[in-house]
A and B are shown apart, each in its own frame.
Chain A
Amino acid sequence: MQAQRLLRSGLATLCRHAITRAPQRAFASRPPFVPPVQQIGGGSSLPRWQGERVMEDDLEEFFEEDDEAAIALEDEEVTRAMEEAADAFAMQEQEEGIEGEVEGSEALEESEEQEEEEDDEDEEFEFEEDPTLTGKQPPTSPNFYSGRAAYYDQLAQIESAVAHTRSALRMLQLLPLPAFARQSLPTRPAIWKTAKEMGDDLGIPMTSGRYRTLTRLLVQMNEYLVIATAAGCDELAERAKHLLNLFESSTKQANLTRGRKKVINVDHLGRSYTFGKRKTSTARVWMVPVATPSEKLDVIDLEMIDSLDEAEALMTSQPERFHQPQLVPQTAILINNIPLGEYFPIPADRERAVRPLKIAGMFSAYNIFSLVRGGGTTGQSGALAHGISKGLLVHNPDLGTVLRRTKLLRRDPRMVERKKTGKAKARKGYTWVKR
Chain B
Amino acid sequence: MSSSRLARALPRVPRLARPLSTEEPPPLRSLDDWSRLQLKRAEVGTLIDIFSKYGSNRTPQNTYKLRDAIRRPVPNATTSSLLAAGAHFGHATSRMNPNFMPYAYGVRAGSTIIDLDHTVPLLRRAANLVRAVAFAGGQILFVGTRPDLRQIVKSAAGRIGKQGYYISDRWIPGTLTNTAELYSPEVANETLATPDLVILLNPLKNITCIRECALTHVPTIAIVDSDTDPRLVMYPIPANDESPQTAEIVAGILSIAGREGLALRMEEEVIADENEQEEMDEEFWDAVEEAQFEEEQASST
Are B264's CB and A3's CB within 8 A?
yes
Does B182 reach chain A (CB closer than 8 Å)?
yes
Are A230's CB and B34's CB within 8 A?
yes
A4, A19, A21, A145: which contacts B165 (Cβ < 8 A)?
A145
A-B contact count (CB 8 A): 126
Surface stretch bound by A, among B6-14, B21-29, B239-247: B21-29
Does A140 reach chain B (CB closer than 8 Å)?
yes
In the complex, chain B residues 17-62 whose Cβ is within 8 Å of any chain A Cβ:
24-29, 31, 33-35, 37-38, 41-42, 45
Known contacts A145-B167, A184-B27; A7 and B137 CB within 8 A of each other: no
Are A14's CB and B27's CB within 8 A?
no
What residues on B are CB-neighbors of A3 within 8 Å?
Answer: 131, 260, 264
Interface size class of B (residues with CB under 8 A): 35 or more
Are A128's CB and B165's CB within 8 A?
no
Are B35's CB and A103's CB within 8 A?
no
Q: How far is the CA of A117 from the CA of B162 in the complex (A)?
A: 33
Known contacts A145-B167, A173-B41, A230-B34; A140 and B128 CB within 8 A of each other: no
B28, B261, B269: which contacts A184 (Cβ < 8 A)?
B28
Does A180 reach chain B (CB closer than 8 Å)?
yes
Residue-wise, chain B 186-228 has the 8 Å CB interface mask toward A (1 for contact) of 0000111101000000000000000000000101000000000
What residues on B are CB-neighbors of A9 within 8 Å?
Answer: 128
What residues on A are CB-neighbors of B287 within 8 Å?
Answer: none
Distance in Å from the Cβ of B280 to the closest Cβ of chain A? Answer: 11
Does B164 reach chain A (CB closer than 8 Å)?
yes
Are A10's CB and B195's CB within 8 A?
no
What residues on B are CB-neighbors of A174 within 8 Å?
Answer: 38
What number of A residues sit within 8 Å (CB to CB) of B?
A: 45
Surface stretch bound by B, among A131-139, A283-291, A405-413, A418-426: A131-139
Does A172 reach chain B (CB closer than 8 Å)?
yes
Distance in Å from the Cβ of A156 to the closest Cβ of chain B? Answer: 7
Q: How far is the CA of A183 from the CA of B192 in the complex (A)?
A: 54
Does B132 reach chain A (CB closer than 8 Å)?
yes
Does B175 reach chain A (CB closer than 8 Å)?
yes
Are A173's CB and B38's CB within 8 A?
yes
CB closest residue in chain A, given B161: A142
Does A322 reach chain B (CB closer than 8 Å)?
no
Are B129's CB and A10's CB within 8 A?
yes
B25, B31, B132, B158: which contacts A232 (Cβ < 8 A)?
B31
Are B38's CB and A147's CB within 8 A?
no
Chain A CB count within 10 A is highest, among B135, B195, B278, for B135
Are A10's CB and B128's CB within 8 A?
yes
Residue-wise, chain B 263-290 has the 8 Å CB interface mask toward A (1 for contact) of 0110011011000001100000000000
Distance in Å from the Cβ of A118 to the closest Cβ of chain B? Answer: 15
Chain A CB count within 10 A is highest, among B125, B130, B137, B163, for B137
B28, B141, B191: which contacts A137 (Cβ < 8 A)?
B191
Q: How far is the CA of A156 from the CA of B154 in the complex (A)?
A: 9
What residues on A are CB-neighbors of B128 within 8 Å?
Answer: 6-7, 9-10, 13
Are B28's CB and A7's CB within 8 A?
no
Are B34's CB and A131's CB within 8 A?
no
Q: Is the interface of B mostly helix, strand, loop or mixed?
A: helix
Does B136 reach chain A (CB closer than 8 Å)?
yes
Are A138's CB and B192's CB within 8 A?
yes
In the complex, chain A residues 123-175 whose Cβ is within 8 Å of any chain B Cβ:
127-128, 130-132, 134, 136-140, 142-147, 152, 156, 172-174
Are B45's CB and A173's CB within 8 A?
yes
Are A184's CB and B195's CB within 8 A?
no
Does A328 reach chain B (CB closer than 8 Å)?
no
A127, A137, A144: which contacts B269 (Cβ < 8 A)?
A127
Does A17 reach chain B (CB closer than 8 Å)?
yes
Q: How far is the CA of A156 from the CA of B265 in the complex (A)?
A: 27
Distance in Å from the Cβ of B214 to the closest Cβ of chain A? Answer: 12
Distance in Å from the Cβ of B188 to the closest Cβ of chain A? Answer: 10
Q: How far is the CA of A132 from the CA of B138 in the complex (A)?
A: 9
Does A231 reach chain B (CB closer than 8 Å)?
yes
CB closest residue in chain B, given A128: B137
CB closest residue in chain A, given B198: A145
Does A11 reach chain B (CB closer than 8 Å)?
yes
Residue-wise, chain B 141-168 has the 8 Å CB interface mask toward A (1 for contact) of 1000000000000100110001111111
Does B294 reach chain A (CB closer than 8 Å)?
no
Distance in Å from the Cβ of A75 to the closest Cβ of chain B? Answer: 9
Does B234 reach chain A (CB closer than 8 Å)?
yes
Q: How far is the CA of A386 from the CA of B157 in the complex (A)?
A: 67
Distance in Å from the Cβ of A194 to the closest Cβ of chain B? Answer: 22
CB closest residue in chain A, given B260: A3
A138, A142, A146: which contacts B169 (Cβ < 8 A)?
A146
Are A145's CB and B157's CB within 8 A?
no
Distance in Å from the Cβ of A133 to the closest Cβ of chain B? Answer: 11
Q: How far is the CA of A152 from the CA of B168 in the complex (A)?
A: 9
Q: How far is the CA of A138 from the CA of B195 in the complex (A)?
A: 9
CB closest residue in chain A, given B195: A145
Apart from A10-B128, A147-B183: 19 A-B pairs, beta carbons within 8 A: A7-B261, A11-B136, A17-B234, A19-B219, A56-B278, A127-B271, A127-B272, A128-B137, A138-B192, A142-B157, A142-B166, A146-B168, A146-B170, A147-B172, A178-B25, A181-B27, A184-B29, A230-B28, A232-B34
Instruction: Give chain B's interface residues, CB within 8 Å of chain A.
Output: 24-29, 31, 33-35, 37-38, 41-42, 45, 125, 128-133, 135-139, 141, 154, 157-158, 162-170, 172, 175, 182-183, 190-193, 195, 217, 219, 234, 260-261, 264-265, 268-269, 271-272, 278-279
Instruction: Give chain A's interface residues, CB within 8 Å of chain B.
Output: 3-4, 6-7, 9-11, 13-14, 17, 19, 21, 26, 56, 103, 127-128, 130-132, 134, 136-140, 142-147, 152, 156, 172-174, 178, 180-181, 183-184, 230-232
